[in-house]
Homo-oligomer: A and B are copies of this chain.
Amino acid sequence: MTTSTQAPRRTRIQQEKRELILEAALEVFSTSGFRGSTIDQIAEAAGMSKPNLLYYFRRKEDIHETLMERLLETWLAPLRELDDIGDPMTELRSYIRRKLEMARDFPRESRLFANEILQGAPRIMPLLAGELKTLVDEKAAVIKGWMRAGKIARTDPWHLIFSIWATTQHYADFDVQVRAVLGPNRGGDGRFEDAARFLEQLFLDGLKPKA
């Protein structure tokens, strides 16, 4: 029942301020990376002094660590939901849709994650090789089952998952590029619906013209 790291007792103010700091840190870390961000930046974004911030989080790394722990849970939730019940093609389509919605609604979280991976994942490598790999292997097995049953085409399930991650997260991580290329008209709010339509077709039928 009791975990080795017992939950520390926190006052109401502590809970509120910690939340405020994490929100500010997400903003700063996601656009500058860990090394490129300063405690001052985060403190200012959170509307408090640096020593005050350090009262709630003793080290810069503690903030980042807390942020990453929370992130991984919500980030992997859509994949966890991918289930064997229901039509495979529908399951995959709704997974893609959910991931795209997360790129739209939580772009900072996506960029925070991308920053960490880009820099060699020094702080979450164990999680990748452990929890993440286990989960992906598990879902890859589910997908393989679908292939054996002839429900979807036979391919590499791992690379299929990668391609879903890549295409959806692209709209969060490379957002400024996407908007720059699409221009003011096509790059407006509708770009996510356009992306959803395109990805649905790509993963369903590919590009080969219908005979």
Q: Which residues of A contact B (CB under 8 A)?
A: 31-36, 89, 92, 111, 114-115, 117-121, 125, 128-129, 132-133, 136, 150-153, 155-156, 158-160, 162-163, 165-167, 169-171, 173-174, 176-178, 180-183, 186, 194-195, 197-199, 201-210
A167 contact set on B, CB distance < 8 A: 162-163, 166-167
- Whether the pair A207, B203 counts as a contact (CB closer than 8 A) is yes
Separation of A89 and B207 alpha carbons in the complex (Å) = 8
This chain: how many copies in the complex? 2
Separation of A7 and B187 alpha carbons in the complex (Å) = 38
Q: How far is the CB of A126 from chain B (nearest CB, A)?
A: 9
- Whether the pair B209, A206 counts as a contact (CB closer than 8 A) is no
Q: Known: A163-B202, A165-B170. Is A207-B153 also a contact (CB below 8 A)?
A: yes
